[in-house]
Amino acid sequence: MTTEWITLIVFALAYVLFVVLPTRRSWVACAGGLLLVLTGALGLREALLEKVSWNVMGLFFGTLVLAEMFLLSKAPAVMAEWLVDRTGTARGAMIALCALAGGISMFVENVAVVLLVSPVALSLAKKLQTSPVPLLIGIAISSNLQGTATMIGDPPSMILAGYMKLSFLDFFVYEGRPGIFFAVQVGAVASLAVLAWFFRRHREATKMLSVETVRSWVPAALLGVLLLGLSVSTIPDPEFKWFAGVFTMAIAAVATAWYAARASWTSLGTLYRSMDWDTTFFLIGVFVLVGGLSDSGWLDRLSDAIARGVGGSLPLAFAIIVLLAVVVSGFVDNVPFLLAMIPVVQKVAAHMNAPVPLLMFGLLIGACLGGNLTPIGASANVVTLGILRKHGHRVTFREFMGIGIPFTIAAVVSACAFVWWIWAP
pLDDT at 271: 78
Tell me which long-range contacts 37-40 makes (C-beta under 8 A, separation of at least 24): 37/288, 39/3, 39/6, 39/10, 40/3
Residue 90, CA distances (Å) to 79, 119, 387, 407 in order: 17, 16, 21, 20
pLDDT at 211: 61
Neighbouring CB atoms inside 10 A of 267's CB total 12
DSSP 328-396: HHTTS-HHHHHHHHHHHHHHHHHHHT--HHHHHHHHHHHHHHGGGSSTTSSHHHHHHHHHHHHTT-PPP
pLDDT at 208: 58
Distance between first and last Cα of the chain: 45
Neighbouring CB atoms inside 10 A of 292's CB total 28
φ, ψ (nearest 5 deg) of residue 177: -125, 160
pLDDT at 153: 86
Buried b (16+ CB within 10 A) or exposed e, 86-123: ebeebbbbbbbbbbbbbbbbbbbbbbbbbebbbebbbb
Neighbouring CB atoms inside 10 A of 177's CB total 11
φ, ψ (nearest 5 deg) of residue 174: -125, 125
Q: What pTM was computed for the model?
A: 0.84
Neighbouring CB atoms inside 10 A of 129's CB total 6
Our separate counts of H helices and E strands in the chain read 20, 2
Residues 6+ apart with CB under 8 A from 296: 3, 4, 7, 8, 41
Torsion of CA 333, 339, 345, 350, to 10 degrees: 180
Torsion of CA 400, 405, 408, 413, to 10 degrees: -170
pLDDT one digit per residue (tens) for the chain, 425 residues: 688 889 989 999 998 888 788 778 889 999 999 999 999 989 999 998 889 999 889 988 988 888 888 878 888 777 777 777 777 788 888 898 899 899 988 988 787 788 778 888 887 787 777 888 999 999 999 999 998 999 988 889 999 998 899 989 999 999 999 999 999 999 999 999 999 999 988 777 666 556 667 888 898 899 889 888 888 887 888 888 889 899 999 999 999 999 888 877 777 777 787 777 888 898 899 899 988 888 888 888 888 888 788 778 999 999 999 999 999 888 877 888 888 889 999 989 988 889 999 999 999 999 999 989 988 788 788 888 888 888 888 888 889 999 999 999 999 999 999 999 999 98
pLDDT at 413: 97
Residue 166, CA distances (Å) to 173, 180, 335, 355 in order: 10, 11, 18, 16
pLDDT at 317: 92
Residues 6+ apart with CB under 8 A from 364: 148, 156, 157, 160, 180, 338
Residues 6+ apart with CB under 8 A from 174: 166, 180, 357
